[in-house]
């Protein structure tokens, strides 16, 4: 199937498959959005399972694609990897410049969409990352790539870990595997989350619960067994990430969780690359069941 207005920015042979960077006109964000797709060699024989990776604050689709070292193992396991950008950017279809934090902060605005659909001005016009990731981009992937959409997993890092957890919890049955590296587990209870959800969704904290993994679990949402790796030398672990809150909520609710506390590891892609194979094997096992 040919998807209208999808541009191939680059494509390279990689571990017997292909690593591509693409762009398309998004109806949700009203901007041109970029994303990367690694297609493993097994796709030459038919559709393959899909694992989504959602990146963290300040990132684009490039960070995971270049730094995570995921393609070798994805090729061995027969997994397609899809990595979208983290926010709308540039000028939209109405000629409006996508707004950024007025003070130029790195934790809000461009590169910090937080995987929500904003309701507050001026963000509501373009910042619709929840619907973009949940609905629009999957439809494009299903139409343009040899993807088995009945075998999907999702993972992410930091803000993207928050996105992976909340999107999986809000779409029961869609994702057969869920994992995260150093996720923001409770935006209701950390400065990054309070700034982002307050700015995008307004001051009513009850509306934030739909974008907080801990709150969703407390409110009855469930997803498959969650795998989390957290570096214990991460400077954000106590103030922003708070994995203990996720552990407590999962224990109370009976939500299966494997939480690996990794001594000496920080918040960087060195940490992600160190345990990427473990996560991809986790996803592959679940997607083949």
Q: Which residues are catalytic?
A: 158, 234, 267
Q: How far is CA 256 from CA 167, 222, 237, 275, in A?
A: 17, 9, 21, 20
What is the rounded end-to-end Cα distance, in angstroms, of the chain? Answer: 28
Cα dihedral 66/67/73/74 (nearest 10): -50
Sign of CA dihedral 171, 5, 110, 19: positive
Residues 161, 156: Cα–Cα separation, whole Å: 4
Kindly list the strands in the beta sheet with 226-231, ordered across the sheet, starting from the edge strand earlier in the chain: 6-14, 17-25, 32-39, 80-84, 48-54, 147-157, 175-181, 226-231, 257-262
Peptide bond into 232 cis (omega under 30): no
Closest by alpha carbon to 244, among 189, 281, 177, 166? 189
């Amino acid at each position: 199937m040919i998807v209208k207005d999808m541009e191939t920015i680059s494509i390279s042979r990689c571990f017997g498959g292909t690593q591509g960077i693409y762009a398309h006109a998004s109806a949700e964000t009203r901007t041109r959005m970029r994303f990367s797709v690694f297609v493993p060699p097994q796709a030459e024989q038919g559709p393959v399972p899909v694992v989504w990776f959602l990146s963290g604050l300040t990132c684009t689709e490039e960070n995971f694609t270049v730094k995570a070292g995921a393609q070798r193992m994805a090729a061995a396991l027969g997994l397609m990897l899809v990595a979208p950008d983290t926010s709308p950017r540039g000028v939209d279809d109405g000629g409006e410049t996508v707004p950024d934090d007025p003070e130029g902060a790195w934790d809000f605005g461009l590169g910090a969409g937080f995987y929500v659909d904003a309701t507050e001005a001026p963000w509501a016009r373009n910042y619709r990352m929840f619907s973009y990731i949940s609905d629009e981009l999957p439809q494009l992937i299903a139409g343009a790539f040899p993807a088995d959409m009945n075998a999907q997993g999702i993972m992410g890092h930091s803000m993207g870990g928050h996105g992976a957890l909340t999107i999986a919890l809000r779409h029961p049955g869609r994702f057969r595997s869920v994992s995260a590296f150093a996720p923001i587990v409770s935006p209701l209870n950390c400065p990054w989350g309070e700034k982002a959800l307050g700015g995008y969704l307004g001051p009513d904290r009850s509306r934030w619960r739909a974008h907080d993994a801990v709150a969703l679990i407390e409110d009855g949402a469930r997803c498959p067994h969650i795998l989390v790796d957290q570096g214990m030398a991460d400077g954000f672990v106590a103030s922003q990430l708070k994995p203990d809150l996720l552990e407590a909520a999962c224990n109370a609710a009976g939500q299966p969780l494997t939480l690996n506390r990794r001594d000496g590891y920080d918040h960087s892609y060195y940490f992600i690359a160190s345990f990427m194979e473990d996560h991809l094997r986790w996803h592959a096992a679940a997607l083949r069941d």
